[in-house]
Amino acid sequence: MANAEDKYTDGMNLAGRLTKRAFDIVASILGLILLSPLFLYIYVCLRRQGDGPVIYRQERIGLGGRPFDILKFRTMAPDSEQDGVPQLSERSDQRQTPVGKWLREHHLDELPQLWNVLVGDMSLVGPRPERQYFINLIMQENPDYEYLYQMRPGITSMATIYNGYTDTMEKMLIRLQMDLEYLQKRSLWLDLKILFTTVRLISYGKKI
């Protein structure tokens, strides 16, 4: 990777990054505690569906280009990638289970990522983490993706709100540009605005 200072620099200083991390820890702990009844309800729904594990783990690439296992409530059939070739998910993906479709519509499948935030794999706000397979495809079009390794990936972002499901390469490249802009402009105030907007849109039933 080229020196990150040559092109895209992090707009958040050290004090801001430490404060952001402290906020992530407190918010994720509170979220895990306050939402525990919802976690239990989703667990029961998925167990009653009876066709596979409740929690889905998948390797993603995070801070510093290091891999980690992202956690989600399972929304797809267990054999959704039978041939072993990674596939992009779509809004109306036929591989979704009945409970999984409901979880995705309300973005509840992402809730276990509060644990990823707590342990430091992710942040509440940041670029969505991607699989290495798709990163390689993106970098064939735009190698600037590596600059995203300067920050923790997040549960939500400007691209998540305004670019929707990234089910095409064109959307992936748009998301990359939005994430690079976030890297340069990010601040605690911007993070709060993104979080507020995300919660507001989901509360109003908008599918982001």
Per-residue pLDDT of 76-114, as tens digits, reads: 876 655 555 666 665 555 677 888 888 888 889 999 999
- pTM for this entry: 0.88
Tell whether the model's pLDDT for residue 207 goes beyond 90. no
Domain for residue 19, yes or no? yes
Domain for residue 8, yes or no? no
Domain for residue 25, yes or no? yes
In the chain, the amino acid numbered 91 is R
Domain for residue 26, yes or no? yes
pLDDT for the residue 107: 85
pLDDT for the residue 4: 44
For β-strands 123-125 and 67-73, DSSP reports them as unpaired
Domain for residue 185, yes or no? yes
DSSP 3-state percent helix, strand, coil across the chain (nearest 5): 55, 10, 35
What's the pLDDT band for 135 if we cut at 50, 70, 90? very high
What's the pLDDT band for 203 if we cut at 50, 70, 90? confident
pLDDT for the residue 50: 74
| CB neighbour list of residue 32: distance below 8 Å, 6 or more residues apart | 39, 114, 115, 118
pLDDT for the residue 99: 87
Among the residue ranges 8-12, 163-167, 168-172, 182-186, the one predicted with the least confidence is 163-167
Domain for residue 126, yes or no? yes
> In which domain, by residue range, is 30 found?
14-203
pLDDT for the residue 165: 72
136-162 mean pLDDT:
95
What's the pLDDT band for 2 if we cut at 50, 70, 90? very low
Domain for residue 41, yes or no? yes
195 contacts 156 by C-beta, under 8 angstroms: yes
2-26 mean pLDDT:
86
175-182 mean pLDDT:
96
Supply the mean pLDDT for the chain. 88
Q: Which residues pair with 154 in a beta bridge?
A: 123
pLDDT for the residue 171: 92
How many independent structural domains does the chain possess? 1
What's the pLDDT band for 150 if we cut at 50, 70, 90? very high
Write down the H helix ranges in 89-168: 98-105, 113-119, 132-141, 158-163
Distances (CA, A) of 157 to 43, 45, 50, 127, 185: 26, 28, 33, 6, 13
Domain for residue 139, yes or no? yes
